[in-house]
Amino acid sequence: MKLSVLIAALLAATPAAAHFGMIIPAETMVNQADGRTLPVRLGFAHPFEPDGMEMAAPESVTVTFEGEATDLTETLATIDFHGAQGFETELDLARPGTYILASTPVPYWEPDEDAFILHYTKTYVSAYDDDSGWDAVLGLKTEIRPLVRPFGIWAGNLFSGQVLVDGAPIPFAEVEVEHYAESPVTAPSELKITQSIVAEADGVIHYTPPAAGWWGFAALTPANYRLEQDGEAKDVELGAVIWVRFEGWGAE
């Protein structure tokens, strides 16, 4: 076998690193002593490594509270997110309750997959010991509805959610799960970096993380449209991404 063919075969056999849209607030539960604003970072990355990828300015970033969405897009400032462009903003926590952060991206062209990627990303924040509204959905093109409160949960708890596209459950959707290692972690195998699960017939997923910290869930479905790249119509992968922080036992 020629060396070039062998290298190509080895590359093809190597698992592709998973991409995740990311919204990472400094905390997921804020009390009165913490103050009334919360720093939030946004990025696009391979979170386990962690390895940032260039993120274009999102189409929109919103926060929804008690069913009312506020546009934060104009408040974004660029930052370095693990070696690539990301963004930051501050969330104003005016009243007790659940704040839902969401990002709608512009299409990301991934030449290795010969397709565009669109990750609709969200996370939930509780203010002042009030968890009302934690199960709300936003009506995004695709999203994961939390069936377990997505904050104030321990590592080892079961997380459940439901994959939705255009508001309808998606049976047997492919879901990637990955830990955000804010400091680099070495995995003994490539297969241990990204966990893979499949939704049930009603679109419901279940996963129990083995460790504390941030865990991202990305439900991947093909779009029913294509986008043009270099004069050719290309497939579009939709990702419904939710980030959940699991607390270590005894953590304050």
Tens-level pLDDT at each residue, the chain (252 residues):
343 333 333 333 334 568 899 999 999 999 887 778 999 999 999 999 999 999 999 999 999 999 999 999 999 999 999 999 999 999 999 999 999 999 999 999 999 999 999 999 999 999 999 999 999 999 999 999 999 999 999 999 999 999 999 999 999 999 999 999 887 788 889 899 999 999 999 999 999 999 999 999 999 999 999 999 999 999 999 999 999 999 998 655
- Picking from 75, 78, 38, the residue whose alpha carbon sits closest to that of residue 60 is 75
In this structure, are strands 168-169 and 213-222 parallel, antiparallel, or unpaired?
unpaired
* Rounded Cα distance, 233 and 58, in Å: 23
Give the number of other Cβ atoms within 10 Å of residue 94's Cβ: 11
Burial of 34 (0-12, 13-18, 19+ CB in 10 A): middle
Which one-letter DSSP state was computed for residue 55? -
Both structure tokens of 151: 């904050």
CA 4 from centroid of its chain's CA atoms: 36
- Picking from 237, 244, 238, 174, the residue whose alpha carbon sits closest to that of residue 203 is 174
pLDDT of residue 211: 92
* Rounded Cα distance, 6 and 10, in Å: 6
In this structure, are strands 84-92 and 77-81 parallel, antiparallel, or unpaired?
antiparallel
Contacts of 148 (CB under 8 A, 6+ apart): 157, 158, 159, 160, 161
pLDDT of residue 26: 96
pTM: 0.91
